[in-house]
Amino acid sequence: MTVKNDTVSESENNSIHELELNYTIAQISSVLLKPLFSIYEIKDIILESAKRITGSEGGFISSVGEGGYQLFYRLMRLEKSSNFEKDGKWDYMMNSLSSTILSCFKGKYRAFYDNSPEIQNNQKEIKNILFSPAMMGNRVMGEITLINSREGYTEKDFETIKKLAELFAITIHRRISEEELIKSRRKYRDLVEKINDILYSVNENGIITYINPVVEVLSGYKPSELLGMNFIELVYREDVDFVKKQFEEISKGHGGNIEYRICTKAGEVKWISASNKPIFSSGRFIGVQGVMRDITERKKVEIMQSELTDVLKLMNKILRHDILNNLTIISGCIEVYNETKDKKLLSRAINSIKKSIELINNMKELESLLHSEDGFKMYSIREIIESVTLNYQVDCRIRGDCSVMVNGAFSSVIDNIVRNAITHGKSENIEIDIENKDNICEIRIADFGEGIPDEIKDKIFDEGFKFGEAGNSGLGLYIVKKLIDKYGGEITVEDNKPRGTVFILRLKTSGKSPDQHFVEFGCHN
């Protein structure tokens, strides 16, 4: 505790004041380094320091707006009171010095008082008092009041307390600012977390640094699971190269909107639309902020409309071109036959009739594409295959079974593959293996016929592709591929050993219709 002593020179007293003040500032600075410092800890440090420096018996410190004693408010209400000189008790002191202390607020003069009142009700006798408001500009932030200095208050005491009051005002202002910032952030966070769109940010390497909770509705992932992950890990594998290229363009300052597919935690594929803004610091690319939303339903409608248009165009082509051509051939052959009686012309006409019948059957199957979203339920794959193979005179062995969410159109998938094996592959026996592999129903349809050359394996599912003497409309396998796509599955073809062809169908056994899983193959999980 600092003791005022006449034997100590004024310069020594000044040095002691400065040392004490610097020590206090160091203590306060240590507290201010804490993320959320306590204003009460700051008060204790300042008040104890003020009492120690001035040799005061007591005092108090308060900030405007808190509960308990608020000197400034009391002074404003009791400005005309004058009980201090008569009673001289502590609580009356606040009721009596209002005019004088308010003048101190306005910077007119300083508050130095001495009296020797009678002590009543165990209250302190006030011998002298020192007061300094804590101001931030013209705003009152609080005050420091000290009483009963042993040696009486000096000009130097007042200057020191004034500096402590200024420091106190700064800490109060900072605390208020921090609280307002926290409230603002909380308000912003609540707003961000309640909107339907997904807000996110990634750094320059694509690492997710922020994403709001709405992402769980879209992807199944909690934000905590995604933070620190590279966003490319969520991208549907067929879209990875496209998204990487777009990210590179964004890093060059070219923001914009892109649409691509992501994989959910459950392995589903969903379409998203992402609006991205590049972020730069001192001219250096440091990341991307963006907004994304689920556009799966919109994409489904767009794809269905596109497929519907394609199917209608194809049906129109079959009617106006292929069947019309066949009818022209039939009509011409019959007219010439009536004149020449050439039986080869009848064979040609009959062949054209068969092709027309096949085209009409293909049109029926094409029509099933238009309604491939209807009538879904869990079917036994073995039962469907058994019902189809009964229509063919061929040795067919079936092993295994699994249930898959499909509709009646799936029978045309099996029918086309079996018919191709018999008609085009000239196979006399077929082996079909059905197996559930990690929730994927794998159907292997193997024939022992002529096989499919490697150079055309990637073309056999194209519309209108024909091969060999028995090639007719070229629509059968095209329809098969379209239906498998609709079921959210995949189909591939490979050679059988020692000869023949194997068609491999893979369908999910999740019990979800295409409306639920959309397109699922191609997800990482």
Rounded CA gap, 466 and 207, in Å? 49
Distance CA(231)–CA(181), nearest Å, equals: 30
Task: Give the tokens for residue 209.
Answer: 């640094």
The edge-to-edge listing of strands for the beta sheet with 440-447 is 395-399, 429-437, 440-447, 501-508, 490-495
Pairing of strands 429-437, 395-399: parallel
Do residues 243 and 249 lie in contact, with contact meaning Cβ atoms separated by under 8 Å? no
Residue 522 Rama label (left phi>0; alpha psi -120 to 50; beta): left
Query: Whole-angstrom Cα distance, residue 158 to residue 393?
Result: 114
Instruction: Supply the pLDDT for residue 339.
Output: 84
SS3 content of the chain, % helix, strand, coil (to 5): 45, 25, 30
Render the burial of 491-502: b for 16+ CB within 10 Å, e for the rest. Answer: bebeebeeebbb
> Distance of CA 320 to CAs 256, 323, 515, Å?
44, 7, 33
The sheet with strand 112-114 has its strands ordered as: 56-63, 139-149, 128-136, 112-114
102 CB-contact burial (10 Å; exposed 0-12 / middle 13-18 / buried 19+): middle
SS3 369: helix
Q: How far is CA 468 from CA 291, 356, 372, 425, in A?
A: 53, 18, 30, 10
CA dihedral 354, 356, 362, 367 (to 10 degrees): -140
Rounded Cα gap, residues 328 and 101, in angstroms: 114
Residues 6+ apart with CB under 8 A from 107: none
pLDDT along the chain (525 residues), means of 10: 51 72 77 70 85 83 55 38 34 36 37 35 62 78 80 81 85 78 71 72 94 90 94 93 93 89 91 93 92 88 77 68 76 86 84 76 64 72 91 90 87 87 88 93 94 89 70 72 86 92 90 49 51
Place of tokens 């007591």: 58
Q: Say if residue 145 is exposed, middle or buried (CB neighbours under 10 Å; 0-12, 13-18, 19+).
A: buried
3 state SS of 263: strand
CA neighbor of 367 nearest in space, from 301, 308, 428, 413: 308
| Predicted structure pTM score | 0.45
d(CA 36, CA 178): 8
Rounded to a whole number, what is the distance in angstroms from the first to the last CA of the chain? 71
List C-alpha distances in Å: 104 to 85, 86, 95: 19, 22, 15
The stretches of 293-409 forming alpha helices (DSSP H) are 296-317, 324-340, 343-370, 381-389
**Which among 9, 65, 20, 63 has a CA at the least distance from the CA of 39?**
63
CA distances from 58 to 49, 126, 146, 151, 358 (A): 12, 10, 6, 14, 107
Residues with Cβ within 8 Å of 250's Cβ and at least 6 positions away in sequence, in order, are: 256, 276, 278, 288
User: What's the CA gap between 308 and 409, in Å, rounded?
Assistant: 16
Neighbours of 291 (CB within 10 A): 16
Q: Which residue has the tokens 């879904």?
A: 376
- Give the CA diameter of the chain: 149
The H-or-E segment that residue 27 falls in is: helix 10-32
Q: Tokens 């130095």 appear where?
A: 112
